[in-house]
Amino acid sequence: MDDLNKRETRIYSTSFKRKVIEEYLNTGVAKIYLIKKYGIRSKGGFQKWMRDLGYTDIYRKEGYLHPNSIPTLSPKKEKSSPAKEQSQDSRIRELERLLEDEQLRSEAYSRMIDIAERDYKISIRKKPNTK
């Protein structure tokens, strides 16, 4: 095997990993930006670091909500621990972000329909008086 095909294996310290992950979570910048900024070779390594060090990716896009992931309200009032409150806060932030994404998607679809109706002069939206 020649030297061009060999990849140098880098071992990153736990403190370095935490620093990069916390910068990502606190600033919300794209992971790819941090990977390039710090010269991290593996894109998938970043996500693995988060799992291994116990971090939750609050910015991760999961697509649509699954029925099991929607929080339910229970009539019982439980005493909540700080860890549970933090988990609930991160879940609320995640749901708010997903809602904002869906609102943007809806607005984009509406604009695309408006442009198509204007440019191609075809009626796409259902008129209110049709049956």
Predicted model pTM? 0.42
Burial class, 20, CB count within 10 angstroms (exposed 0-12 / middle 13-18 / buried 19+): buried
Enumerate residues 6+ apart whose C-beta is below 8 A from 65: 95, 98
What are the domain boundaries of the chain?
14-60+82-120
Q: Tell me the pLDDT of the chain (131 aa) as tens digits.
A: 444 455 566 788 888 888 988 888 888 888 888 888 888 887 777 788 888 888 887 777 655 555 555 555 555 555 556 777 778 888 999 999 999 999 999 999 889 988 988 998 888 887 777 66
